Amino acid sequence: MSDEQKSQKSTDSSVQTMYEYGYRKSGYGPDELVTDAHGNPISVVDAMMRAEDAKDTQTLTPHLCFYSPRIPGNTGSAIRLCAVTGTILHLVEPLGFNLHDTKLRRAGLDYHDMAHVVLHPNFDNLVETMPDSRIIAFTAHATKNYTDIEYRPSDILLFGPEPGNIPDPMDIMEGPHVAEQVRLPMRPSARSLNLTNTASIAIYEAWRQLGFSGGQ
C-alpha cells in the first residue's frame, strides 16, 4: 500500500469516527428532518409520542394543539417552543405540509424535540384520547381575554389554522368539547398575530401562573 493510500485510509477512519459522534453521514439529502444520536435519519413517526402516552404523561404546562396547521415554519417553531417548556404539542390532521418539509428542520428540530409531538388523524381522536383535559379555544370570536383563565397542566390550548384571513373552523373552535373561548387583545387596525407567536404568549402565561414549575 502506497503512502498516499495509507493517508487516505487514515483520513477515512478519522471521518468515520466523527460520524459516530453525531456528524451527519454524507449522501443523505438535506431534507431529512430527524436523526438518531449518530446523525442517521430515522422515521418521524418513530420519534413522536403516542396519543395514549400523552394522556398519561404528567406535564407542568398545558398541552398545545394546532388544528390543521398549514405553514411548516410555524409548526417547527411550535415544536421547539414545546421542547423548551415541557409542553406536549398535538397536531391534528389534515396538515398543510409534509412532516419532512425542510422548513421544519430549519426551525432547529431534532428527534428529541419530536418526542413532544402527537399526531392525530382527526379532531375526534384528540377529544377521545384526552378525555380528562379541558379544551380552551383561542379565537377572535371570543370576548374573554386569555389572562382571565386559571390554567391547569392538563388543559389543551387549541388554535385553528393559519393564515389569519381564513375564518376559524367554528365546528372545532366551539361546541360541547370546548370549555372556554379566549382571545388575545389587539389594536383594532391589526389583522392578526402569527400563530406560534400567539401560542408562545399563551403557553408562557399559563406557565407563569403555574410558577414556572420545572423551569430555571
Residue 181 cell numbers, joined: 373561548
Parse the chain into domains and list their residue ranges.
Answer: 48-209
Residue 63 has pLDDT above 90, yes or no: yes
C-alpha cell at 194: 402569527
Q: Degrees (nearest 5) of the Cα angle 191, 120, 104?
A: 60
Q: Mean of the pLDDT values across residues 125-154?
A: 96
| Percent of residues, the chain, with pLDDT higher than 70 | 71
CATH 1.10.10.60 fits 48-209, yes or no: no
Alpha carbons 143 and 40: distance in angstroms, whole number: 48
Closest by alpha carbon to 158, among 143, 144, 169, 147?
Answer: 169
Instruction: Mean pLDDT check: name the lowest of 73-82, 92-101, 144-153, 155-164.
Output: 92-101
Give the three-class secondary structure for 74: helix
- 209 contacts 149 by C-beta, under 8 angstroms: no
The pTM score is 0.79
| Separation between Cα atoms, residue 37 and residue 29, nearest integer Å | 17
| Residues in contact with 49: Cβ distance below 8 Å, sequence separation at least 6, in sequence order | 57, 88, 115, 116, 117, 118
